[in-house]
Amino acid sequence: MAVTATAAPPYVTIWQTTTAIVASRALQVVAELGVADQIGERPVPVQTLAEACGADAGALERVLRLLASIGIFVRHEGGYAHSDASRVLRTDAPGSMRGFARLMNLQFVNQAFTRLDHSVQTGEPAANIVDPRGIWGYLRDHPDEARIFGEAMLAKAAADIPAVLEAYDFRRFGTIADIGGGLGHLLRAILERAPESNGILFDLPEVIGSLPRATDRVTRVAGDFFRDALPSADAYILMEVLHDWSDQDCVRILSAIRRSATPGATVTVIEGIVADAGDDPRVNTLDVLMLAIPGGRERSAAELETLFVASGFKLNAVVQTAGAMKVVEGVAV
């Protein structure tokens, strides 16, 4: 059966999709300028916002008017106030999304998407035209952009983690290893729910070395999952890691886990999963992002099962959550 995304008239659908870049870029600029940080509980005049952010008042008014018309900020006669959406653009908001909005404004991302045609024609990441080393090599040489990237990933994860923890019980595992776990936000949230468990955070040396003082019940291990032995654990977590990589590299990552895992150990892949109908716009958007930037992909449960089998795991369950993520559970055989 064909999947129809909307009942809007065809010309409206094309117009809205074609011009979506306008609102997106407006949001990115406002996030870059820190406009939301200048608004508290009362409307603020545009002139005041412009002076605080180093912007032209007339131009800022036009951009904010656009964003308010789609639910980001609220327009008043006396200026602009927060909507629920604009409030999470504040730097100090819990789960702030400012970093994610800024991520999509990075020069590397912008340049890659101007060459999306290359990805569609060749199947190769357009980002490699910007830097042959790919996004990871680029970020190593651009620490300011790497910091924004990290903030964006933290914000995205913070929005997804509560639904994952409500749907999947990690308390049955004595030792839980978060592979490619970044700053450890997921692992810390899991250990809060699993007070009898201990955690291992595994990531690159530069990531582990940047972390503040170690926390109780978490062992930090620095390494590269393509080269170094992984720690032994009862359960392994891969949250939005595999989708960054090709099938071949995913098998390498999962195989490295299997070499360190005892039979019966669990691996949990937490990602957006492509549905049989293929009608989840968030997953499909991420899929094209993966195509253009790192060269990975979002996968169906069947595609993940193929990777599991090739790496010494069997698919055990696909756990739905109330959010966009699903938990795909494999068991070492």
Q: How many other CB atoms sit within 10 Å of the CB of residue 110?
A: 13
The candidate with the shortest Cα–Cα distance to 108, out of 85, 86, 134, is 134
How far is residue 43's CA from residue 77's CA, in Å, rounded to a whole number? 9
CB atoms near residue 151 (< 10 Å): 19
Distance from C-alpha of 58 to C-alpha of 90, rounded to nearest angstrom? 22
Supply the residues annotated as catalytic: 243
Among 166, 309, 330, which residue's Cα sits nearest to residue 237?
330
